[in-house]
Amino acid sequence: MMWLSSGFLFRSGKSFYHRIDPRVKLLCSILMFVCAIIARFVYEIAIVVAFVLGVAAAAKALRRVGRTVAFTSLFSVLIFGLNFFVTRDLESSVLYAARFVGIVVSTSLFFVTTSPDELEQVMKTFRLPRDIVFAFVTAVRFVPVLMLDAMQIMDAQKSRGLEMQKGNVLRRIRSMVPVLVPLVVTSVVRSGELAEAMESRAYGAVPRPTSLVQYRARAADKVVAVAALLLFALTAYSFYVVLPPLGL
Amino acid sequence: MIEFEGVSFVHPTGVKALDGVTLKVGGGETVAVVGENGAGKTTLVKHVTGLLKPSKGRVLVDGVATTATTTAELSRKVGVAFQNPDHQLFSESVEAEMAFALRNFGFSEELVERRVAWGLELFGLTEYRASSPLVLSGGEKKRLTLACILAWDPQVVILDEPTVGQDALQKERLAETIRMLTSTGKTILVVSHDIEFLWPIQPRVVVMKSGKVVGDGRAAEVMAQKGLLESARVAQPQLVSFHGALRSRPTSPFVDPAEARRWIAGERR
Ligand SMILES: Nc1ncnc2c1ncn2[C@@H]1O[C@H](COP(=O)(O)OP(=O)(O)O)[C@@H](O)[C@H]1O
Ligand SMILES: [Mg+2]
């Protein structure tokens, strides 16, 4: 579980891609996302995915992003199956499944290379209400904590004779109760305590608190942004005009 | 009963939490594991119940390698009470919480009833029998987790930081319970920073530092080695320091304040 869901978790790094302004990274990911949507053929999506994985490799985040593919392959199969069941059209079913992979991979690239702090800055530039920004960023930041909790709870319950690997589906689902209850309870208690601790540290005392880090796009960031837009235009052009319509 | 043979363990993050640990704990022994935060004590404990499997070396419990069995099976023999009680309480009532493991092990309802009543009594929780375990205070929750473990009468009892959040009286009771368990032949592993709590129990003391066992011996022997304790950032028991500061003194340090008081009274005369 931990292994699979870590595909969306930030991992600090010093690569060129990590250091790009988070707003530019968001732009890049959105453009790749859009590419995956507008692609009309599976091989075009394959090109997009390969490109995203290439960027991920350059950012030394290939393994994390790769995990996302593994994680979502299950859903992809489901999407393919449902589509094929309904439309009986092999090509469009594969296309939808592949498109899903493309969307997930480009999103994952953004989250894996953007720290919660950067995320906060990005959201602030969109002038979202501070409470919403805070809630979202805190939720993201606490995902690893939650996973650690889940592991420790499972350890504790296994030590009390809870079998999690054996039995039929119903039994396994039932065996999640002793894990989920403490997980939810500790999370709720923690969020209450966090709120109290933050208010006693003056959260919300002034409407617009100052910020330690001020993001200012450097020249390199602007270059990347322009390059990304150009590449996007080129890709869109190739998809619709240059590349041949190759079906399955 | 428990054997570590050159056990090393590396966490997925790359932290080497155990580094060539060799340790043998015989049946009926009472062992305290001490050492600074992050020394690897909890990691050691998790190897005994097979929650973690060694990256190198072997762990044997009752002659069986932990790699050859599951935690659920091992826990019939080894009961671990982990540090954080919030990580295991989930039932509707204190009673049901205690019965959870017993039912997992397939005890008869009559036996469950009897063991639960015994455990509640032992830890002074009888009045909370029907309350939700989630509304108990921190110290009571901790005691409940201990009661949950002792209820199924495992041969080996492991307590990870059992004194956290307990007041003086409860600590004394806990020490009493440990002595009682020792006298019934249980093998006990207590992980604790609380040197003053451990000292009167007079356990065998294992000192850990950066994943290694750096000291091992009777409490009086280990606690006398100031250099070793300092390097592992473990405080010396006050009675041992006091004993060391005396000009004329008995051969071994006082085990409890009453003993010191008696000796001082004798010296005055
Ligand atoms: N789940 C985990 N993942 C990664 N590292 C861990 C994990 N649990 C413990 N560690 C690391 O292993 C080392 C030993 O931890 P632990 O056994 O909990 O120490 P102690 O109980 O003596 O305080 C520490 O450096 C800790 O950061
Ligand atoms: Mg610990």
Residues A29 and A72 in one domain: yes
Q: Which CATH number fits domain B2-236: 3.40.50.880, 3.40.190.10, 3.40.50.2000, 3.40.50.300?
A: 3.40.50.300
Whether residue A121 is contained in a domain is answered as no
Look up residue A238 and give its two tokens: 């190739």
Choose the residue to mutate in B4, B10, B11 for probing ligand 1, maximizing ligand atoms within 8 Å of C-beta. B11
Residue A129 domain flag? no
Are A24 and A96 in a shared domain? yes
Ligand 1 site-directed mutation target among B34, B43, B53, B193, most atoms within 8 Å of CB? B43
**Hey, are the CB atoms on B82 and A156 less than 8 Å from each other?**
yes
Alpha-carbon distance B59 to A70, whole Å?
33
Q: Using CA coordinates, name the residue in chain A closest to B107.
A: A161
Distance, in Å, from the CA atom of A92 to the CA atom of A67, rounded to the nearest integer, reads 25
Residue A175 forms part of a structural domain: yes
Q: Are the beta carbons of A160 and B71 separated by less than 8 Å? A: no
Asked whether residue A146 falls in the same domain as residue A205, the answer is yes
Same domain as A110, residue A2: yes
Same-domain pairing of A79 and A103 = yes
User: Do both A103 and A6 map to the same domain?
Assistant: yes
Indicate if A240 and A189 belong to the same structural domain. Answer: no
Instruction: Please state, in angstroms and rounded to a whole number, the distance separating the CA atoms of residues B80 and B156.
Output: 8
Distance A1 CA to ligand 2 centre (A): 24
**Under 8 Å CB-to-CB from B79, ≥6 apart: which residues?**
A159, B149, B150, B152, B154, B156, B157, B158
Query: Does residue A210 sit in the same domain as residue A238?
Result: no
CA distance A194 to A200: 10
Is residue A190 situated within a structural domain?
A: yes
Q: Determine the distance separating the centroid of ligand 2 and the alpha carbon of B190, expressed in angstroms.
A: 11
3-state secondary structure of A7: helix
Phi and psi based region of residue A60 (left: phi greater than 0; alpha: psi -120 to 50; beta: remaining): left
Q: What's the structural domain count of chain A? A: 2
Ligand nearest to the CA of B161: 2
Angle CA B118–B119–B123, to nearest 5: 120
Q: Which amino acid is at B120?
A: L
pLDDT tens, position by position, for chain B (269 residues)?
999 999 999 998 889 999 999 999 999 999 999 999 999 999 999 999 999 999 999 999 999 999 999 888 898 999 999 988 888 899 999 999 999 999 989 999 999 999 999 999 989 999 999 999 989 988 899 889 999 999 999 999 999 999 988 889 889 988 998 999 999 999 999 999 899 999 999 999 999 999 999 999 999 999 999 999 999 999 999 999 988 888 888 888 898 888 888 988 888 87
* Residue A28 belongs to a domain: yes
Q: Is residue A128 domain-resident?
A: no
The SS3 call for residue A150 is: helix
Which residue carries 């932990």 as its tokens? B66
**Cβ-based contacts of B51 with chain A (< 8 Å):** 155, 158-159
Which residue is closest in CA terms to ligand 1's atom 25?
B38
Phi, psi of A79 (to 5 degrees): -60, -45
| pTM of the predicted protein model | 0.76
Same domain, A202 and A244: no
Is residue B88 within 8 angstroms of chain A, CB to CB? yes
Q: What spacing in Å lies between the alpha carbon of B64 and ligand 2's midpoint? A: 25
What is the bridge-based pairing of β-strands B212-218 and B204-209? antiparallel
Which of B51, B86, B90 is opposite residue A155, by nearest beta carbon? B51
- Claim to verify: residue A74 and residue A142 sit in the same structural domain: no
Task: Please name the residue of chain A whose CA is at the shortest distance from the CA of residue B81.
Answer: A156
The Å distance, Cα B269 to ligand 2 centre, comes to 47
ipTM of this predicted structure: 0.77
Conformational region of residue A168, where left means phi above 0, alpha means psi within -120 to 50, and beta covers everything else: beta
Note the pLDDT tens digit of each residue in A169-220: 888 888 888 999 999 998 888 888 888 888 778 787 777 777 777 767 788 8
> Has residue A126 been placed in a domain?
no
**Interface contact A182-B89, CB threshold 8 A:** yes
User: Do A140 and A238 fall into the same domain?
Assistant: no
Do A174 and A228 belong to one domain?
no
Domain span at residue A183 reads 136-215
Task: Indicate whether A123 belongs to any domain.
Answer: no
